[in-house]
Amino acid sequence: MGHWSFLVLVVVIAALAFDFTNGFHDTANAMATSVATGALPPRVAVVISGALNLVGAFLSTEVAKTISGGIVDDTLVTPWMIFAGLVGAIVWNLLTWLFGLPSSSSHALFGGLIGAVWVGAGVKGVHFTEVTEKILIPAVASPVVAGVVAMVATYLAYVITRRGREREVTRGFRFGQVASASLVSLAHGTNDAQKTMGVITLTLISAGILSHGSGPPWWVVLLAGMAIALGTYAGGWRIIRTMGKGLADIQSPQGFAAETASTTVILASSHLGFALSTTQVCSGGILGAGIGRRLAEVRWGVAGRMALAWVFTLPAAAVVGGVSAAVAKQGTAGIVVICLAAVAVAVAIYTISRRDPVTAGNVNDQPTAPVVPATTAA
């Protein structure tokens, strides 16, 4: 059996730091439409979402197993490779948060790990068949499925309630949004918290602390759930604004339809062990809900920028992870250099963000970035 070392401890801390960024980066997935429509006050929304992310972390470990023994060869991976991959994921998460782009934290993690392992162990260290089947194909299919389901659900919701009083209909769907947004948060915990569990488990396997093929220990599940819950409570208001106000003109029936469609897709994928992007699923649901309402405004310029971020996330994080791995494999000095560089980047990004702060108080203001509106009728 192996033993705990300073490097293993550093990797576990970095994994939990990534989990925290995942939380505030992805709070918008569950709560953006509820905040935008007024179904939930912003602060109440993040409290509910954080608590349910924690609960969701305990419901399944299938995705964690996909990461710890699926996309990379755990017999070739070392803790410093995992550390380098985490740095790539964290840097990309912070950068896209700065610009309010709801990119995939999941794909940032996968990209960082793939780049780091490729540099550290060679191409044989990456299971590209597994990457294609359980990451790339779901990445393409899941937002389309969620979008189509949300579009149909939105259309039916307006057809069924067209003779009802607008105020009563809105109130009813707002109550429904509280339930559906809560389910998205629960589903997010079952999918995204597991990714950090998988990374920590992979680290423990690579250090010889756990045997090959092991699942995450209970304390790993607990720490990962707590980290993503705390990150969720932090808010991630910049991305909530983009998804709630910048992507489409959303009313309560649309918000309910989008959240319900997203929950269905995420929970089904978690059960099957598909490590998909909850961001892409929820964004697809919001777009589908926008298209599904007659005369709703869908801002295709914002959608286009989001799509570009999705395309570049995995390769960009892989490049940062690969560069970090090339430095980290030089030994302790390389690890220290990467740590200092990552901290400097994080501080710089946070400093820049304070020039145009987005908070719970102004989250429902329209984004200042230019958008290209298009009107779509169902």
> pLDDT at position 232, please?
85
pLDDT band at 1 (very low <50, low <70, confident <90, very high): low
Spatial CB neighbours of 334, under 8 Å, sequence gap ≥ 6 = 80, 327, 328
Residue 279's Cβ-count burial label (10 Å; 0-12, 13-18, 19+) is: buried
Domain that holds residue 197: 6-354
In one-letter notation, the amino acid at residue 23 is: G
The count of domains in the chain is 1
DSSP-based three-state secondary structure for 305 = helix
Q: Note whether residue 263 is domain-resident.
A: yes
Q: Is the dihedral of CA 130, 131, 132, 135 positive or negative?
A: positive
> Is 275 inside any structural domain?
yes
Residue 375 has pLDDT above 60, yes or no: no
User: What percentage of the chain has pLDDT greater than the value 70?
Assistant: 90
Beta bridge partners of 373: 299
- Whether pLDDT at 378 is above 50: no
List, in order, residues 6 or more apart from 247 with CB less than 8 Å away.
Answer: 283, 286, 287, 290, 298, 299, 302, 303, 306
- The confidence score (pLDDT) of residue 366 equals 67
Joined together, the tokens standing for residue 92 give: 């990309």
Model pTM score:
0.83
- How confident is residue 197, by pLDDT bands cut at 50, 70 and 90? confident
Supply the mean pLDDT for the chain. Answer: 84
Backbone conformation region of residue 357, classed left if phi is above 0, alpha if psi is from -120 to 50, else beta: beta
Q: What is the 3-state secondary structure (H, E, C) of 2-29?
A: CCCCHHHHHHHHHHHHHHHHHHHHHHHH
Cβ atoms of residues 14 and 87 within 8 Å: yes
332-353 and 6-37 helices, crossing angle to 10°: 20
359, part of any domain: no
The answer to which of 37-41, 110-114, 116-120 has the lowest mean pLDDT is 37-41
Task: Give the per-residue pLDDT at 370.
Answer: 41
Does residue 368 sit within a domain? no
Q: According to the model, what pLDDT value does residue 348 have?
A: 96
For residue 371, tell me if it sits in a domain.
Answer: no
- Domain-embedded: residue 290: yes
Measured between alpha carbons, how far is 93 from 275 in angstroms, rounded to an integer? 17
Ramachandran region of residue 239, left (φ > 0), alpha (ψ -120 to 50) or beta? alpha
Please report which residue ranges of the chain form alpha helices under DSSP H.
Answer: 6-37, 42-56, 62-69, 79-98, 105-121, 128-131, 137-160, 166-206, 218-234, 237-241, 252-272, 278-292, 300-328, 332-353
Whether the pLDDT of residue 63 is over 90: the answer is no
Task: Please list, in sequence order, all residues whose beta carbon lies within 8 angstroms of the beta carbon of residue 137, skipping any fewer than 6 positions away.
Answer: none
Q: Is 363 part of a structural domain of the chain?
A: no
- Per-residue confidence at 295, pLDDT binned at 50, 70, 90? low
Give per-residue pLDDT as tens, 152-169: 989 988 888 888 888 888
The H or E element spanning position 367 is none
Buried-exposed string 147-161: b where 16+ CB fall within 10 A, e elsewhere = bbbbbebbbebbeeb
Task: Please state, in angstroms and rounded to a whole number, the distance separating the CA atoms of residues 153 and 371.
Answer: 26
| Main-chain dihedrals φ then ψ at residue 372, nearest 5 degrees | -115, 95
Does residue 308 lie in a domain region?
yes
The length of the chain, given as a count of residues: 378
What 3-state DSSP class applies to 149?
Answer: helix
CA angle 128, 143, 66 (to 5 degrees): 35
